[in-house]
A and B are shown apart, each in its own frame.
Chain A
């Protein structure tokens, strides 16, 4: 099985709708990062979560790390076309390492 899985792989929503993207790890996480990528371009950092139960928000995007530190959800409220892109989670699985493992990403399309 994959060490890190994102779901869904792709998502199409109508503008104004809420949506959730999940990132699930087979191991305990020491750091979880959410990034957004516009097609064919670099990644933009959104949020970092480290503590179990931690929740952070940026504009209409909220991310939470569950208590067991093995799953994170990214929730977008009242989606807009500007939210479209690929959302990737990156994790560090061990204390003392800077290495990331990235998920395969969730492609989000928002219909106006």
Chain B
């Protein structure tokens, strides 16, 4: 496989469930990102990892818990979510964190619906 792969593509969960989103990249990149895309709102940066170390937590509620075991894998653990958390969650990667020249490669996204 090539590029950035996200699983599952679709997820429906209740507010008391615990689930995880998975992202895998086969590009040899060292930086990985989680973005949230809600209807009619700009993409929101959630977390950034560089060489497995978290470098950004954009004031994300603790019900979202990221994990980056290595530079190729990124997880987003979900628990006790709210209906307003329903959105498209996009994973992205880049070669490294470079100011002003940071091209992102995105996965196809995981569509999350919280009932």
Chain A contacts to B: CB under 8 angstroms: 4, 30-31, 33, 35, 40-45, 48, 50, 88, 90, 92, 94-105
- The complex places the Cα of A5 from the Cα of B2 at a distance, in Å, of 33
> Is the beta-carbon distance between B101 and A48 smaller than 8 angstroms?
yes
Chain B contacts to A: CB under 8 angstroms: 4, 6, 31, 40-43, 45, 48, 56, 88, 90, 92, 94, 97-109, 111
Q: Which of chain A's residues has its CB closest to B50's CB? A: A98
- The complex places the Cα of A4 from the Cα of B41 at a distance, in Å, of 12
Identify which of A42, A90, A97 contacts B4 (C-beta below 8 A): A42
Identify which of A30, A50, A102 contacts B43 (C-beta below 8 A): A102
> Is the beta-carbon distance between A41 and B99 smaller than 8 angstroms?
no
> Is the beta-carbon distance between B101 and A100 smaller than 8 angstroms?
no
Q: Which of chain B's residues has its CB closest to A102's CB? A: B43
